[in-house]
């Protein structure tokens, strides 16, 4: 799991979009496409290289019920494993 003070950013060649056909947010990356739920899309949108995982969880908790910092960290870890985000920590 990622450190809570890690500041993830989008990986090289990664783009975010809204897919009208799927009616969902998606991440396009060299190996494929990920369809995101609303919370995951919010996390990816905050991967700017400046916002920590702890700060992301705090912001998300304002808009979504049941957001836990461990869940955000786990999502970032999974995204990093796919090359969607880069973590320097």
Whole-number average pLDDT of the chain: 93
The pTM of the full predicted model, rounded to 2 decimals, is: 0.90
User: What is the pLDDT at residue 1?
Assistant: 67
Alpha-carbon gap, residue 79 to 20, rounded angstroms: 23
Domain range for 26 is: 9-81
What CATH number should be reported for the domain holding residue 14? 1.10.10.1150
The helix/strand/coil state of 56 is helix
User: What is the pLDDT at residue 31?
Assistant: 84
Compute the average pLDDT of residues 35-41.
94
Q: Is residue 86 part of a domain?
A: no
Compute the average pLDDT of residues 6-19.
96
Q: Is residue 69 part of a domain?
A: yes
What digits encode the pLDDT tens for the residues 51-70?
999 999 999 999 988 899 99
Domain count, the chain: 1
Alpha-carbon gap, residue 83 to 13, rounded angstroms: 10
């Amino acid at each position: 799991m990622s450190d809570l003070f890690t500041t993830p950013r989008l990986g090289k060649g990664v783009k975010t979009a809204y897919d009208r056909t799927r009616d969902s947010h998606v991440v396009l990356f060299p190996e494929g496409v990920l369809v995101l739920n609303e919370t995951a899309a919010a996390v990816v949108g905050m991967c700017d290289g400046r916002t920590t995982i702890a700060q992301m969880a705090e912001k998300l908790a304002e808009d979504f019920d049941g957001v836990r910092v461990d869940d955000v960290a786990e999502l970032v870890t999974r995204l990093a494993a796919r090359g969607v985000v880069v973590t320097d920590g």
